[in-house]
Amino acid sequence: MMNDIFDVNNIEFNSNTKTKDEALQFIASFAENAGIVKSAKAYYKGLKKREKEVTTGFKDGIAIPHSKHKTVIKPALMLMKYDHPIEWESMDDKPVHITFALAIPEGKNQEHLKVLSTISRALIDEDFTNSILAASSKEDMYQLVQGKLSDLND
């Protein structure tokens, strides 16, 4: 199940995004184009709503925006790396370079909570965080994240 949530095509490098709002729009468009959500607009609204509740800016340049919404067709983890640091009201006030974005279908599926906690735990590991920030290819990023997610299958 976990392996369906994340694959190498869910990773994107983005050079244009400069604001949190643009980042959320980019994630939403990406999700629609990838067939993860029916509507980029609806998913974007869900992401915005989540950010209003509490920032998803984690620490060390990483944010975990997510939304549980009826527009989501299938659960997915998307990984975006930005060329420009993005102001995200993070817990440590540092700008964001990478987002781990989650799209979660409505319903009783708790799978996303496992993914969320796995990613959150992984980000406490400085080696993992530094590696992901330094990664320069989709394949490198994929291997790093897949290594953490595979722990869930054990």
Could you confirm whether 66 is annotated as catalytic? yes
Own/partner long-range contacts of 117-122 (Cβ < 8 Å, ≥24 apart): 118/148, 118/149, 118/151, 118/152, 119/64, 119/77, 119/148, 120/58, 120/64, 122/148
- Are 17 and 82 contacting, i.e. CB atoms less than 8 angstroms apart? yes
Catalytically annotated residue among 66, 69, 97, 112: 66
Cα–Cα dist 80/34, whole Å: 14
Task: List, by residue number, the catalytic residues.
Answer: 66
